Amino acid sequence: MIIIMERDATVENINAVTGLLKEHGFQVIVHEGDVHTVIDALGDKTTLSANQIDAMDGVKKIKFIREPFRLASRDRKQEDTIIEFSNGVKIGGANRPVAMVGPCSVEDNFEGLLEVAVAAKELGCEFLRGGAFKPRTSPYDFDGLGEKGLKYLAKAKEETGLLVVTELMDSEDLDLVYKYADIIQIGARNMQNFKLLKAVGKCDKPIILKRGPASTIREFLLAAEHIMYNGNENVILCERGLKSFDSAFTRNLLDISAIPVIKKYSHLPIIVDPSHGTGQRYLIEPMAKAGLVVGADGVMVEVHHNPARALSDGKQSLSIPQFKEVFTRINNLIDTLHLEKSMSIPNVE
């Protein structure tokens, strides 16, 4: 890190900073400028927090050379992380982008869920998504079927072979969700629920971490870092849109540029969720395609057997006929992109 001292920092202030850095094993070089003294400090920040230095008298500003996320960083691991499932499906790297589709909430209508799952299977999707524990803005809204919903997902998996993605909201339910999920989803609202991140960090299931609606990319990657730091390196990031000043036409502002930015700075796979990202059914296709074109490793899309009657997020869900039409075109794009990707990256696996 580089520490810039205040114009009026005293020699004692400078010595106190360099002394503390040296105590913690940092290599220190002091540059005395005409106005500011700048201290170059090279070392391991795990024993000395930058906040401690920042709090010292005479310190103006600290600049970091390395990103604060380490395990998630490309500096540590240059090759893409690839997450592999028992049935051979892989997410990340040069593998074919995957599709995770299904209703927002698993509702008390197994036939409806199965209809979606069968259509998903027919279209080559790999994952069935659906929430049995739903974070809802209002306490009066449907908040999920709990274990009954998980059982419906398991039954649909049994009939179609699709892998299951479902949300965990509370570490108390981890054992239960673990039993049914192939991927455990941490929702956007829980992106910085550090206790929950720690709990899933200690389990051995892949995790989808959704970006918080008001989180920076750095905060997003630091949330992934919490999971990895606790032992679970199988993290799939999901860009699902940010709160913005303009909600007249879209629910959120889907940050498409976050995908190539994250690809540059992290080795973790990232998928795009245009349903929550826009809140509008008609925007699912263009924004899914946009995400794939800029490098997403998969898409997550809400599909419901009867969106007009959905208990949550019907407006951003495709009906089954719409899903079939849209995914036929998305699959064509995925095939083209996958072909290009596998031709341009030799020996990726």
112 binds ligand PEP (CB under 6 A): no
239 binds Mn ion (CB under 5 A): no
240 binds ligand PEP (CB under 6 A): yes
- The two counts, helices (H) then strands (E), for the chain are 11, 14
307 binds ligand PEP (CB under 6 A): no
Select 36 or 136, whichever has its Cβ closest to ligand PEP: 136
Binders of ligand PEP among residues 51 to 70 (CB under 6 A) are none
Binders of Mn ion among residues 277 to 316 (CB under 5 A) are 313
188 binds ligand PEP (CB under 6 A): yes
Helix (H) or strand (E) holding 157: helix 147-160
Q: Is the CA virtual torsion 15, 21, 25, 30 positive or negative? A: negative
14: phi then psi, degrees, rounded to nearest 5: -65, -45
Closest approach, Cβ 276 to Mn ion, in A, equals 6
Gap between the Cα atoms of 223 and 252, Å rounded: 20
* Position among 92, 187, 298, 307 found at the interface with ligand PEP (CB under 6 A): 187
Binders of ligand PEP among residues 134 to 153 (CB under 6 A) are 135
Residue 263 touches which of Mn ion, ligand PEP, none (Cβ within 5-8 Å per kind): none
Distances (CA, A) of 231 to 120, 182, 202, 240, 242: 33, 18, 6, 25, 28
* Position among 251, 263, 276, 281 found at the interface with ligand PEP (CB under 6 A): 276
Closest approach, Cβ 240 to Mn ion, in A, equals 9
143 binds Mn ion (CB under 5 A): no
Q: Among all residues, whose Cβ is closest to ligand PEP? A: 187
99: phi then psi, degrees, rounded to nearest 5: -125, 130
Gap between the Cα atoms of 125 and 97, Å rounded: 10
Binding site for ligand PEP (CB under 6 A): 104, 131, 135, 187-189, 210, 240, 276
